[in-house]
């Protein structure tokens, strides 16, 4: 295609064009924002006369010229909007979309799509009047089915050049510039071709003198190539997104009316308050309660899965301090709204604060927070020594959770329902303490089971249509984060098929060098943005806003019903033959489809209420799916949330206690098709995978100010244990029925590149086996004098050079479109090797042991430090068996380098050429393990003695092996010497 001579309009994608004098048309002379005449005319027609990029007014000459033309052609534009598609171009489609929705804003939500979505979020007390409006609207307006969005129209199919000035959208997709992404894709294809030629040479040119080493290296290289394909191609179409929260507010928070924003239930999970300090959990809760969101739409549920009295008492103190903290944050627009992190900011807090009382109130609030910390620390100190008879409450009764493995369910509402208000008399969000029942003999499923208990409790008490889950150490850093998510979820076109909105994880308390890649920048800024261009990012366990209906196992509204046997081609097999399916899967799919059909067909009826709706469907079918709770089953039928009117409020707490009983999930679909999915300690990957298999898509939201921030394990031992837990979860999924290699193929709802991404998430631990072998090969080559690569010809040299150049170019171009620094990329590469030869290796063996021998591994909670000493634990090394493999590889390669140089000195000048190739690979291993070595030996007085003993032992063993090989004297020299001795006549 020939390149256009004039720039492209940023609104409609057509050429900007030229003026009558032949000069290029320029709307804004300040920033030269590319916009064509037709789009600028429409902007003036709508009353927008400010540049969309720089905010400066348009030039007066352009004003006069365009205003005149607009007045003359106003009727022409009106006619142009109603023209047929063959008479209208890109401009007409763009203007038609905007004007239709803008005109609908003038009446009661006008557009049937907005009407269906927004009216359902009105107050339940006005339900009858709303139904009457629907009837009147149906009598005067066209059939709603005529305005339905086609099922195939998803977010990725929307026009990606939608302009920020168009007020009909709450978010836009901003594609990566074509110059960057095209060159990136070309290099990927080139690298594939070079890899094919490289392997053709490697396989057809074996090294006969070191056949075993050559074969091992080729197998490892083939696996690395497959791993690269699985990791690279899901990043084929990365995108960016931009949200407009001001439009969300103008659409759903009209002055003088009740807010129509959707309610959100927050889940905060904690287990052991001694490992997860209550002060950190308290800051997370306070940041939620102080959100910039309507207070009646926010409910915070804190799950205490350890039933600790310390967690309960700390939440009492937190609720009391919230009465002061919440109004202070909202009065002065404090960011972040977690007090510990706000008061620790080293910034000028007087900047942009014009209120004279701010300084006085801030100092008073800081004193109150210091007193709050003293009380919290006193509770922690008291909890260090548990009384023999157990803890007792103020009324003298025993604490129900004294036995953490055998206790009843507990629920306590601290704020919201009790009428508690802040010091200024304003209403506060709800705060609920939940500890589910634990009994011996029941499988409680750890964090996934706790999250499912919160799903049921919240459905009974508040039943918000959306759920946001956070770890106890991830506080809200951006008070408008929920509004950012609602720009996607509450959009009637974009949000109908969105199951969750994922925010990137950002962390505090990490040193600038980020030695152990705690920030995980490459994953969150590169991989996840690539997935957003396909079917959406994977669920990463925290900082996620869910649609409650998606957690209930329903399919997206716009998708057709799944047939038991798909006659169409699946995403894995391009065949039209019917694929056999497991009978149990057919039964579950059919049952879920029956519920889907019942719910969405009943949704089209007008004369019904929620109680009648639940009675119309078989109660038995719902009980087998959701459990034995009529109140909870009724809540699942309410797509837009809210507590059913038929429920007696006085019985809600009793019902909530019932749904968190340890036997509630027996003989139901919880953990199988509903809620967080069981079967892996990384329940997040499994849960998101099941949703994507049903046809849902997810959204990746990256606001300029990070939405949430957490604490990362900055020392080496904790970091390796964290990686071990993730890798073990991936191995469990690989060995389960939910393996992405085959699960969900018959439905065809999971896109091919999305499946590759999920396959990559479960097979990456197995890369540890070839990685350990490949890191050992350089040392073996140096010790034995052999090499895995034959003498290179000119063609082979070009292939090796091309391969290295393509690897470098791929990384450089990836850095260009992602904005990730080269240091972050290098740290990620280093820790990929460190984690691969340690945690991933152990995860593979533990996963097979669990499958074959039934040996379950303990779930170790990563400790969250509350120490004020900055980076105080960075160099602490706690002994763990995970340290042995990388330590051994370091010593092997260091000994190999010494042996190689000694051998070269002994043999002479001709040995130095082959030596450099061997030493290069050895140094490659050492450089990648360098952060591990530095962390291990950073502080001699803190290095465990066992590590030093292991190092000495391994060094001695390999030194003896080296002496046994005896590289100083070659076999050829010994033979010639013996022959010379025979010729001497003694």
Collapsed DSSP state (helix, strand, coil) of residue 743: coil
Phi–psi pair at 468, nearest 5 degrees: -120, 120
CA atoms of 301 and 279, how far apart (whole Å) = 17
Count the neighbouring beta carbons within 10 Å of the beta carbon of residue 412. 16
Q: What residues contact residue 969 under an 8 Å CB cut-off, 6+ apart?
A: none
CA atoms of 100 and 165, how far apart (whole Å) = 15
**Residues 360 and 368: beta-carbon distance below 8 Å:** no
Which secondary-structure segment (H or E) carries 948? helix 945-965
Alpha helices for 819-929 (secondary structure H): 822-836, 839-853, 884-907, 912-928
**Nearest to residue 384, comparing CAs of 471, 309, 434?**
309
CA atoms of 794 and 565, how far apart (whole Å) = 55
Q: What residues contact residue 127 under an 8 Å CB cut-off, 6+ apart?
A: 609, 645
Collapsed DSSP state (helix, strand, coil) of residue 796: helix
Whose tokens are 């019932």? That residue is 658
Looking at 113-198, which runs of residues are DSSP E strands?
171-175
Angle between helices 794-818 and 178-204 (to 10 degrees): 150
Count the neighbouring beta carbons within 10 Å of the beta carbon of residue 666. 12
Residue 771 has which token pair?
């990685």
Collapsed DSSP state (helix, strand, coil) of residue 412: strand
CA atoms of 864 and 114, how far apart (whole Å) = 45
CA atoms of 462 and 412, how far apart (whole Å) = 14
Altogether, the residues listed in the chain come to a count of 986
**Residues 710 and 474: beta-carbon distance below 8 Å:** yes
**Nearest to residue 225, comparing CAs of 841, 810, 942, 886?**
810
CA atoms of 313 and 67, how far apart (whole Å) = 67
**Residues 839 and 724: beta-carbon distance below 8 Å:** yes
Exactly one of 168, 265, 304, 305 is catalytic; name it.
305
168 as an active site residue: the answer is no
CA atoms of 563 and 637, how far apart (whole Å) = 23
Phi–psi pair at 433, nearest 5 degrees: -95, 130
**Nearest to residue 384, comparing CAs of 254, 275, 499?**
275
Phi–psi pair at 268, nearest 5 degrees: -120, 120
**Residues 680 and 729: beta-carbon distance below 8 Å:** yes
Count the neighbouring beta carbons within 10 Å of the beta carbon of residue 603. 15
973 as an active site residue: the answer is no
CA atoms of 936 and 453, how far apart (whole Å) = 42
The secondary structure of residue 527, as a DSSP letter, is I
Q: In what order do the strands lie in the sheet with 475-476?
A: 475-476, 708-711, 506-508
Q: What does the angle CA 437 – CA 438 – CA 442 come to, to the nearest 5 degrees?
A: 120
Q: Which residues of 616-635 are buried (b: 16+ CB within 10 A; e: fewer)?
A: ebeeeebeebbbbbebbbbb
Residue 632 has which token pair?
């909870």
Residue 69 has which token pair?
């033309």
How do beta strands 475-476 and 298-304 pair?
unpaired
Q: In what order do the strands lie in the sheet with 498-502?
A: 410-415, 430-435, 298-304, 264-270, 466-471, 544-547, 498-502, 697-700
Exactly one of 684, 718, 824, 903 is catalytic; name it.
684
Active site residues: 305, 684
């Amino acid at each position: 295609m020939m390149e256009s001579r004039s720039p492209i309009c940023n609104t409609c994608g057509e050429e900007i064009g030229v003026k009558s004098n032949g000069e290029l048309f320029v709307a804004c002379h300040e920033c030269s924002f590319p916009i064509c005449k037709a789009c600028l005319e429409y902007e003036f027609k709508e009353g927008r006369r400010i540049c969309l990029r720089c905010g400066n007014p348009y030039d007066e000459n352009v004003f006069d010229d365009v205003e005149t033309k607009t007045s003359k052609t106003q009727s022409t534009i009106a006619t142009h909007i109603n023209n047929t598609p063959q008479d209208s171009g890109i401009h007409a489609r763009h203007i038609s979309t905007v004007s239709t929705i803008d005109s609908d804003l003038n009446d009661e939500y006008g557009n049937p799509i907005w009407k269906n979505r927004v009216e359902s979020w009105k107050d339940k007390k006005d339900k009858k009047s709303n139904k009457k409006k629907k009837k009147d609207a149906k009598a005067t307006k066209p059939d709603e089915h005529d305005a339905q969005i086609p099922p195939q129209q998803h977010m990725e199919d929307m026009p990606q050049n939608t302009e920020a000035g168009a007020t009909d959208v709450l978010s836009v997709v901003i594609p990566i510039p074509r110059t960057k992404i095209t060159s990136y894709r070309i290099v990927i294809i080139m690298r594939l071709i070079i890899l094919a030629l490289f392997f053709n040479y490697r396989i057809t040119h074996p090294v006969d003198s070191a056949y075993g080493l050559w074969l091992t290296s080729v197998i490892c290289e083939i696996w690395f190539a497959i791993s690269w394909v699985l990791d690279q191609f899901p990043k084929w179409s990365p995108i960016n997104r931009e949200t407009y929260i001001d439009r969300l507010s103008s659409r759903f928070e009209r002055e003088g009316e009740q807010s129509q924003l959707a309610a959100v239930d927050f889940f905060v999970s904690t287990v052991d308050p001694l490992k997860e300090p209550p002060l950190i959990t308290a800051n997370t809760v306070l940041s939620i309660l102080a959100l910039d969101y309507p207070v009646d739409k926010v409910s915070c549920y804190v799950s205490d899965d350890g039933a600790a009295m310390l967690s309960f008492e700390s939440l009492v103190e937190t609720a009391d301090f919230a009465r002061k903290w919440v109004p202070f944050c909202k009065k002065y627009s404090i960011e972040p709204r977690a007090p510990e992190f706000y008061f620790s900011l080293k910034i000028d807090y007087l900047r942009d604060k014009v209120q004279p009382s701010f300084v006085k109130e801030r100092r008073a609030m800081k004193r109150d927070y210091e007193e709050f910390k003293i009380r919290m620390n006193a509770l922690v100190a008291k909890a260090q020594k548990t009384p023999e008879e157990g803890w007792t409450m103020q009324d003298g009764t025993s604490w129900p959770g004294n036995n953490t493995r055998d206790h009843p369910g507990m629920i306590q509402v601290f704020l919201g329902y009790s009428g508690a208000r802040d010091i200024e008399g304003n209403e506060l969000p709800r705060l609920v303490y939940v500890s589910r029942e634990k009994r011996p003999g029941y499988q409680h499923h750890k964090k996934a089971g706790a999250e499912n208990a919160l799903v049921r409790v919240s459905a009974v008490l508040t039943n918000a249509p959306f759920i946001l889950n956070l770890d106890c150490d991830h506080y809200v850093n951006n008070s408008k984060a929920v509004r950012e998510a609602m720009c996607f979820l509450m959009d009637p076109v974009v949000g109908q098929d969105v199951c969750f909105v994922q925010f990137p994880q950002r962390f505090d308390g990490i040193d600038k060098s980020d030695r152990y890649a705690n920030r995980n920048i490459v994953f969150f800024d590169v991989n996840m943005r690539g997935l957003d261009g396909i079917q959406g990012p994977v669920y990463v366990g925290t900082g996620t806003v869910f649609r409650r209906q998606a957690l209930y196992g329903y399919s997206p509204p716009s998708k057709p019903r799944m047939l038991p046997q798909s006659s169409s081609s699946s995403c894995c097999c391009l065949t039209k033959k019917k694929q056999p399916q497991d009978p149990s899967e057919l039964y579950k799919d059919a049952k879920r489809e029956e519920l889907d059909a019942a719910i969405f067909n009943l949704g089209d009826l007008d004369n019904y209420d929620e109680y009648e709706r639940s009675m119309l469907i078989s109660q038995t079918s719902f009980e087998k799916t959701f459990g034995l709770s009529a109140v909870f089953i009724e809540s699942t039928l309410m797509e837009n949330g809210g507590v059913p009117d038929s429920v007696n409020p006085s019985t809600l707490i009793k019902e909530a206690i019932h749904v968190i009983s340890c036997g509630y999930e027996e003989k139901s679909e919880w953990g199988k098709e509903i809620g967080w999915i069981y079967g892996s300690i990384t329940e997040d990957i499994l849960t998101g995978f099941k949703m994507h298999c049903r046809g849902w898509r997810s959204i990746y939201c990256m606001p300029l100010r990070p939405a949430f921030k957490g604490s990362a394990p900055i020392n080496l031992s904790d970091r390796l244990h964290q990686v071990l837990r993730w890798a073990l979860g991936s191995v469990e999924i690989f060995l389960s029925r939910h393996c992405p290699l085959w699960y969900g193929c018959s439905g065809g709802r999971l896109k091919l590149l999305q499946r590759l991404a999920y396959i990559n998430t479960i097979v990456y631990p197995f890369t540890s086996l070839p990685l350990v072998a490949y890191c050992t090969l350089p040392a073996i080559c140096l010790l034995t004098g052999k090499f895995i690569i034959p003498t290179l010809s000119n063609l082979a040299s070009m292939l090796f050079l091309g391969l290295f150049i393509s690897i470098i170019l791929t990384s450089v171009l990836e850095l260009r479109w992602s904005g990730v620094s080269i240091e972050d990329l290098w740290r990620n590469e280093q820790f990929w090797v460190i984690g691969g030869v340690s945690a991933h290796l152990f995860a593979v063996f533990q996963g097979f042991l669990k499958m074959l021998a039934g040996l379950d591994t303990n779930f170790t909670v990563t400790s969250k430090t509350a120490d004020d000493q900055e980076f105080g634990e960075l160099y602490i090394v706690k002994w763990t068996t995970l340290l042995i493999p990388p330590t051994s590889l370091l010593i092997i390669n260091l000994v190999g380098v010494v042996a190689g140089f000694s051998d070269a000195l002994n043999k002479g000048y001709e040995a130095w050429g082959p030596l450099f190739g061997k030493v290069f690979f050895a140094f490659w291993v050492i450089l990648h393990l360098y952060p591990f070595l530095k962390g291990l030996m950073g502080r001699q007085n803190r290095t465990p003695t066992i590590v030093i003993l292991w190092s000495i032992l391994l060094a001695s063993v390999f030194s003896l092996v080296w002496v046994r090989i005896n590289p100083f004297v070659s076999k050829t020299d010994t033979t010639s010497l013996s022959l010379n001795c025979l010729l001497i006549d003694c």
